[in-house]
Amino acid sequence: MTDTTFVKRLLAEQRSRTLGSILGYVDRQPWRNKLTEPEFRLLKEKIMQLVGGYHDTCLDILKASGLENDTAVLNELALTAMRDLNHRMAKLQRSLDATEE
């Protein structure tokens, strides 16, 4: 597996986890039942669109960086990206957990 393949798979996994966390949170909210199915579908589509846009931007940065041929730099970039994504996901999860208490 190339380093860029690893980063792309990592980003895809993070996208899936982010969507799962956000959509799961929304679905557990008491106001969820106040939305009609078409309203909820629109909300879900908007969330997916926004997270997808962020994911596409990450992929564009990877592509535009030209780092595909520099393994050492790409590895450091991947480690930095993983740390940042994990930090942000943990912060998001703590924030979602705090609002449910």
- Residues 5-28 have pLDDT tens digits of 888 888 899 899 999 999 999 999
| Spans of all domains in the chain | 3-100
Beta strand ranges found along the chain (DSSP E):
none
- Residues 29-77 have pLDDT tens digits of 999 999 999 999 999 999 999 999 888 888 887 777 766 555 555 567 7
Residue from 98, 100, 2, 18 nearest 58 by CA: 18
Residue from 11, 4, 15, 17 nearest 71 by CA: 4
Q: What are the φ/ψ torsions at residue 54 (nearest 5 degrees)?
A: -65, -45
Where does residue 36 fall: left (phi above 0), alpha (psi -120 to 50 degrees), or beta otherwise?
beta
